[in-house]
Amino acid sequence: MIALVDMDCFFAQIEQLDNPQWKNKPVAVTNGQLGSTIITSSYQARAFGIHTGMRLKQARQLCPALIQAPSRPQRYAQVSRKIMSSLLAITPDIEVYSVDEAFLDLSRCQQLYFGANDIGQRIKRRVFSVSGLRCSVGISGDRTTAKFAAKKDKPDGMCVIHPALAEQTLAPALVTALSGINKGIASFLARYDIICCGDMKRVPMSVLAKRFGHLGRRIWLMAQGKDPEPLSYNVKPPKTIGHGKVMPPQTRDKNVVLIYFQHMSEKVAARMRCFHYQAECFFIAAKTDQGWLKTKTHAGFYTDDGRVIYQLCQQFLQLYWSGQGVWQVQVTALAPQQGKQLDLFTEDNQQRQQVNTAMDNVNHRYGEFTLAPARLLDKSAMPNVIAPAWKPGPGSPRDYFL
């Protein structure tokens, strides 16, 4: 038996909790006071058609009384860690899926409770007692059906789908309602007239397996309430380490674009150093009206130095950018590795390593960018956001690079 705990409008709910005058009012969380894009919103705001990714200006047209709440990633991380730790009182078998979601394997503890409904209510009471927040809980025999169940009765809901009834319950649901089935996969399935989960049996598993491999076999079983994917209790090494930032619309000032790229470069570098990772290949991108300008570029050696990454960003702009308006920048280290030998055989590189170490120590103690390249000291318009992939857990080091 698997349970999925899903915090309802997590960031917005925290803002309403910390600001009681905002209770039951439309609240939108943005990336800082000057943020122009909505990260998430309360259910009261969603009732007006406001959604994640919407521009604040457009949202205010839909709801003039909308309350803007600048994001506070450190606060969200603090509450998330408290909630996830409290769930250990229910079962030790927990997969922290994201900052606001966790899977609980109830197999070893079912005999301690009075059925699935009892466990679900205990989970909800536990979360509320430690955080003051409401959550939705879905319980079933596999992780995909549990996640589907958690979405059925939001907010503050609970839904139990007995494993024997999972296939029947999922049959009328669109395949896109299942976690992990994106537009590309849905488009492929539509070629075979697979629109709802109940249509999946029209084709043999081998058709999906040939196209998607193991994922295809899993999708075929997911649609029938038989997801074979087990919970993962250990945090796997990252495949990428990246940061992106939405900019003021149509930014054409090269110096401003460079500041944003340098900010992201230093954040990626600090995050790599924190976990003792280095990378040689980086993905660099800028979003314009014409779409994304992007490239994969190689440093030629493994590095965790923000200056090196920033130099790659400068080269990227020189080669690909012709002055059009920029909306967003992205810097990502690809395939980071631990234990790689850095190029320290020159005096300059040794000094850079010493500077980075000293900077990390100061920033860890006094806050991110207490020490930073001079160009970044006036970066008040670039507040932090919590990374979607951030997961709280015992020993999670240094939240200052969220």
Beta bridge partners of 281: 298, 334
pLDDT tens digits, one per residue of 374-390: 556 555 445 555 555 55
Class of 77-222 per CATH?
A: alpha beta
CATH topology of domain 240-393: Dna Ligase; domain 1 (3.30.1490)
Catalytic residue among 15, 95, 101, 368: 101
Contact 38, 52 (CB under 8 A): yes
Cα–Cα distance measured from residue 205 to residue 181, given in angstroms and rounded to the nearest whole number: 16
**pLDDT at residue 113 is higher than 90:** no
pLDDT tens digits, one per residue of 191-227: 999 999 999 999 999 999 999 999 999 999 999 999 9
**pLDDT value at residue 382:** 53
Q: Residue 274 — pLDDT band, cuts 50, 70, 90?
A: confident
Question: Chain-centre distance of CA 356, in angstroms?
Answer: 27
Contact 50, 28 (CB under 8 A): yes
First to last CA, the chain: 33
Please give the model's pTM, rounded to 2 decimal places: 0.69
Q: Residue 401 — pLDDT band, cuts 50, 70, 90?
A: very low
Domain ranges within the chain, ordered by starting residue: 8-75, 77-222, 240-393
pLDDT tens digits, one per residue of 329-375: 999 999 998 866 555 444 455 566 655 566 555 555 545 554 455 55
> Which amino acid would we find at residue 102?
A
Answer yes or no: 101 catalytic.
Answer: yes
Cα–Cα distance measured from residue 288 to residue 230, given in angstroms and rounded to the nearest whole number: 40
Q: Which two tokens stand for residue 118?
A: 């009892």
Cα–Cα distance measured from residue 36 to residue 327, given in angstroms and rounded to the nearest whole number: 11
- Average pLDDT of the residues of the chain: 85
**pLDDT value at residue 233:** 76
Please give the CATH architecture assigned to the domain spanning 8-75: 3-Layer(aba) Sandwich (3.40)
Is it true that the peptide bond before 155 is cis, omega within 30 degrees of 0?
Answer: yes
